[in-house]
Amino acid sequence: MSYNLLKGKRGVIFGALDDKSIAWKIAERCVEEGAQITLTNAPVALRFGTLDELGEKLNAKIIPADATNSEDLDNLFKESMDALGGQLDFVLHAIGMSVNVRKKKEYTDTNYDWMMKTFDVSAISFHRMLQSLWKLDAMNEWGSVLGLSYIAAQRVFPDYGEMAESKALLESFARSFGYHYGNRKKVRVNTVSQSPTVTTAGSGIKGFDDFFNYADKMSPLGNASAEDCASYCVSLFSDLTKMVTMQNLFHDGGFSTMGMNPAVLND
Ligand SMILES: NC(=O)c1ccc[n+]([C@@H]2O[C@H](COP(=O)([O-])OP(=O)(O)OC[C@H]3O[C@@H](n4cnc5c(N)ncnc54)[C@H](O)[C@@H]3O)[C@@H](O)[C@H]2O)c1
């Protein structure tokens, strides 16, 4: 069902790899709500993923950009403004990748080059993206920028590796840049802390299935799906949430507030 919440708005969506990606669902919902968008991903992901399919379906231009490269980002935002016909109203950062987790390196035996790469891809790219938008003056007043986060930024989830620190950094960038962008142009910057979700990045975490089921049981509403996340992000891109900024917003069925749930103990 569409409420036309994003009618006339222009946006850029990072991070849709395949139809399991959270960003894929968000892109679909944004267009359903009346937005025009461009889609972007790293050049290598465009070769392995299925983004072309989404681009065709949504009539959205695909512009490759490595989110760790400022030149790519500048080009992406310039091309997006050209393609969409003006400044942007919303941007989604849905990027995450841990080299140590992918290579199954224990947290206590972390490879620091890989850790730096993880921070660069998963968190510094958010700052880089905001800085590029800022320098190009690519955002409209009252625009909205979102990053996707996870509760491992605040609590310990042992198998999440240095992604925990990446998410803490991501959330901190949202607060700090949110201050500057709010002052300058009333642009709001937030992170959405999403439930575990079955995607390529999510399933790369050791023991993901057990953990997914644990979180589902622990949360009074169950895990939030990617589709639910998409609806929540639409609300945060819309004018209905104009005064929300510099927040980390939990979208997790209540998980983050739970201490103990008998449903888990009884199992
Ligand atoms: N899946 C979960 O359980 C879960 C939970 C909370 C938050 N998140 C976050 O949601 C976001 C989206 O992840 P997802 O679960 O949909 O998985 P996904 O694997 O579909 O998406 C991750 C994306 O990051 C992109 N990416 C990696 N390196 C890049 C680079 N250098 N430049 C540009 N893009 C790059 C990948 O190509 C991919 O499209 C991530 O930030 C992730 O941490 C996921």
Active site residue 214: no
Residue 215: the pLDDT is 97
Separation of CA 208 from chain center: 19
| Residue whose CA lies nearest to ligand 1 atom number 11 | 94
pLDDT of residue 267 exceeding 80: no
40 close to ligand 1 (CB < 6 Angstrom): no
**The tokens of 59 are what?**
């009539």
- Average the pLDDT over each of 53-57, 150-154, 207-211 and give the range with the smallest value: 207-211
**pLDDT tens digit sequence for 75-134:** 999 999 999 999 999 999 999 999 999 999 999 999 999 999 999 999 999 999 999 999
The rounded Å distance from CA 94 to ligand 1 centre is: 5
Report residue 112: phi and psi, to 5°.
-75, -30
Report residue 35: phi and psi, to 5°.
-80, 160
Do the Cβ atoms of 199 and 21 come closer than 8 Å? yes
Active site residue 179: no
Residue 200: the pLDDT is 83
143 close to ligand 1 (CB < 6 Angstrom): no
Q: What angle do CA 6, 73, 49 make, to 5 degrees?
A: 75
Residue 229: the pLDDT is 98
**The tokens of 198 are what?**
């079955």
**pLDDT tens digit sequence for 182-199:** 999 999 999 999 999 998
199 close to ligand 1 (CB < 6 Angstrom): yes
160 close to ligand 1 (CB < 6 Angstrom): no
Confidence of residue 136 (pLDDT cuts 50, 70, 90): very high
pLDDT of residue 69 exceeding 90: yes
Residue 119: the pLDDT is 98
Residue 263: the pLDDT is 92
Please report which helix (H) or strand (E) contains residue 50, including its range: none
Q: Give me the catalytic one of 3, 107, 112, 150.
A: 150
Give the CB-side neighbour count of residue 116, counting CA atoms within 13 A: 2
Residue 167: the pLDDT is 98
Give all domains of the chain, ordered by start, each with its CATH number.
Answer: 10-265 (3.40.50.720)
pLDDT of residue 170 exceeding 80: yes
* Cβ-based neighbours of 15, under 8 Å, separated by 6 or more: 21, 22, 23, 41, 92, 93, 94, 95, 148
Report residue 84: phi and psi, to 5°.
-95, -15
**pLDDT tens digit sequence for 217-265:** 999 999 999 999 999 999 999 999 999 999 999 999 999 999 999 999 8
3-class secondary structure, 224: coil
**pLDDT tens digit sequence for 30-53:** 999 999 999 999 999 999 889 999
User: Distance (Å, rounded) from C-alpha 267 to C-alpha 234?
Assistant: 36
Q: Report the chain's mean pLDDT, rounded to a whole number.
A: 96
Residue 18: the pLDDT is 95
The rounded Å distance from CA 121 to ligand 1 centre is: 10
Please name which of 29, 31, 78 lies closest in space to residue 59, comparing C-alpha atoms: 31
15 close to ligand 1 (CB < 6 Angstrom): yes
Burial 219-245 (b: 16+ CB within 10 A, else e): beebbbbbebbbbbbbebbbeebeeeb
Residue 216: the pLDDT is 97
